[in-house]
Structure 1
Amino acid sequence: MSVDMRTYLAHVELANPITTAAGCAGSGRELAQFFDLNRLGAVITRSITLTPRSGRPTPRTAETPSGLLNAVGLQGPGIDAFLDRELPWLAERGVTTIVSIAGGSVSEYGTLARRLASAAGVTAVEVNLSCPNVEDRGRIFARDPAAAAEVIASVRASSRYDVPVIAKLSPDVADVVAVARACVDGGADALSMINTPLGMAIDVDTMRPALAAGTGGLSGPAIRPLAVRCLWQVHAALPGVPIIGMGGVMTGRDALELILAGACVVAVGTAIFNDPYACLRILRELEDLLHKRGFERLADAVGLAHRPPGTGPRGRIDLEESSL
């Protein structure tokens, strides 16, 4: 018996729940030499900015225990090059594409959304809120519910009505539920979480920061418990809102943990760096785990950890299990 692995982001159906995480597979070309990208639920592009960016100085990455620090700085060709070369390449291949966008002001996000609204091949827009607001002393949008909601409202107003808007949240906040709720109130159709928390490492040989920028985003298995906590809290508060879960997913078991916490889609990031087939392997492992646990549909596992003890794979109380 096979498991029905279909899932939904708002009204958009995905063939399966596994996607790439923004910034970890470029815009798909890197992975396409290894397998057909249509085998994934979707590809999430790197965060696209209004103008080209060269990124931050090197060194940009540093390994930490069970993790990776990075301070790449949203390096990319800008929206014009993306629309001319990268998006058409994905569209020609029929790849389900979620475009991540990043801006330095509310108006920049709105402009990016308008440019994408007239482009073919955009399945959804993921709004990277972990960017400094240049109009408000560099405060990070994702840390302020009102600022995050303003960005989402701008993107929603500038996007096509049939393209879901996904708010990507940071764990570096006092109340992640408050930010999530503000984004939904601002027009977000779904949430993406978690973005990398801020971290730092110092090289004890050089006695200087390991990254040229000093601090960077921490990813990898070290942050998975943080991701599970954030997912759990937000799904409990907003159970009807679709969530793309991410943070340290290296195996199918990791993906299932995020799904049980409330994710209906799981993005794979750091694992891709040393294993280009990681997404497909994790998908196989996830389906096998669901099958062994008696699930006929992926949807029945989403948020299951929130339900009463003894709840079976189909969302009902299993009397035999509950009596054990």
Structure 2
Amino acid sequence: MSDRLRTTLGPLELPNPVLTASGCGGTGRELAQFSDLARLGAFVTTSVMPQARAGRPTPRVAETPSGLLTATGLPSPGVETFLERDLPWLIEQGVRTIVSVAGNSVEEYGDIASRLRNVPGVAAIEVNVACPNVEDRGRMFGWHPTAAASVVRAVRAYARPGLPVFAKLAPDVTDIVTIALACVDAGADGLTLINAMEGMAIDTGTLRPALTGVSGGLSGPAIRPVAVRCVYQVHAALPSTPIIGVGGVASGLDALEFILAGASAVAVGTALFHDPAAGPRVLRELDEALGARRLGRLADAVGLAHKPAGYVPPQVRPQEPEKEPQ
């Protein structure tokens, strides 16, 4: 793979910009049957919580046009099992690991960050703010800038100094830029955009909601335009803040769209359910797409859609002149 794919997410340097999305790769063992996880930029874990959780009862998954509705209830092995079983395996495989953390109170977020503080092999922490705050009538932390900032601040305070912290934001808010600014001000080194959107499906056979939890998170190609919009808006407001773009990435051109909007990396999620080797394929297609557009480095494409018409990146490779026929 060419060096043009190297990217940086704040203090974190990665050989390429393709990651897995949290919750879509299991513990990593499942995907490792189909491709070498160490070839990806990083593996993002399922959200780790203080205690083990089974999640909601079935049915908790429903297919929709160009998307998938899930209401899993954030099943988690718990931080103890993660540290004893899952993280050591990922380290043995040489996988760069970003640990997603979640909780139902500010204290729980801080507790998990403190448990990870002296653990080797953690490349970064991704703070999943799409969790209900039990101290605020169950409203999601990510719905309000003050609440979102509070959990980011707690993770930053207890995490290892210098360890990159990313806040993963949901799009179901009035102004995602305001939430992003609050998280960065609270100490986030970067942002992951976006989490799943809230949606619902009704089973016309049973005449009841298709999911036990009634509503769920919509992911897949159906939300990609929303995700690209969020990345574009946040990059415009925070051009120096690294962004991981998530939401319906299924091809190299999908990934390129996020990068042009302002993302420095992308995460593949729902596509993994029907194509577990999608990560390496997206990476290869992205490399080809950059080459076809004579872009010498991935960094030259980040946020390029914000530039005025006619702008040419400094690292664009000159087009080779056509050879005259002999």
TM-score bracket for the superposition, by shorter chain length = over 0.9
% of aligned pairs identical? 62
What does the per-residue CA deviation read over 1:274-303, in whole Å, with 9 as the maximum and x for residues that have no partner?
101101111111100000001110010000
Give yes or no for the alignment of 1:230 onto 2:203.
Answer: no
Is contact 1:3-1:296 (8 Å) kept?
no
What does the per-residue CA deviation read over 1:197-216, in whole Å, with 9 as the maximum and x for residues that have no partner?
10000011111111111000
Counterparts of 1:14 and 1:226 in 2: how far apart (Å)? 26
* Consecutive aligned runs of 4 or more in structure 1 exceeding 4 Å deviation: none
For 1:1-324, list aligned pairs within 5 A.
2=2, 4-314=4-314
Is contact 2:297-2:315 (8 Å) kept?
no
Secondary structure of residue in 2 paired with 1:258: helix
Displacement of 1:311: 1.4
Q: TM-score, normalised by structure 1?
A: 0.96
Counterparts of 2:32 and 2:97 in 1: how far apart (Å)? 14
What does the per-residue CA deviation read over 1:186-206, in whole Å, with 9 as the maximum and x for residues that have no partner?
000000010001000001111
Is contact 1:221-1:250 (8 Å) kept?
yes
Q: Structure 1 unaligned runs (5+)?
A: 319-324
Is contact 1:3-1:287 (8 Å) kept?
no
Secondary structure of residue in 2 paired with 1:160: coil
Counterparts of 1:3 and 1:184 in 2: how far apart (Å)? 29
1:322 corresponds in structure 2 to: none
Secondary structure of residue in 1 paired with 2:77: coil
Tell me: CA distance 1:166–1:302, structure 2 relative to 1, closer, same or farther (3 Å).
Answer: same
Q: Aligned residues, how many?
A: 317
Secondary structure of residue in 1 paired with 2:183: helix
Displacement of 1:2: 4.2
Q: TM-score, normalised by structure 2?
A: 0.95
Counterparts of 2:137 and 2:276 in 1: how far apart (Å)? 39
Counterparts of 2:249 and 2:34 in 1: how far apart (Å)? 20
RMSD: 1.3
What does the per-residue CA deviation read over 1:4-29, in whole Å, with 9 as the maximum and x for residues that have no partner?
10001111110100000000001211
Deviates more, 1:99-108 or 1:1-10: 1-10
What does the per-residue CA deviation read over 1:8-60, in whole Å, with 9 as the maximum and x for residues that have no partner?
11111101000000000012111112222110000000000000000101011
Secondary structure of residue in 2 paired with 1:113: helix
Is contact 1:130-1:141 (8 Å) kept?
yes
Counterparts of 1:236 and 1:184 in 2: how far apart (Å)? 14
Name the amino acid aligned to 1:237. A
Is contact 2:199-2:216 (8 Å) kept?
yes
Counterparts of 1:315 and 1:232 in 2: how far apart (Å)? 22
What does the per-residue CA deviation read over 1:243-279, in whole Å, with 9 as the maximum and x for residues that have no partner?
0001011111110000000000100000000101101
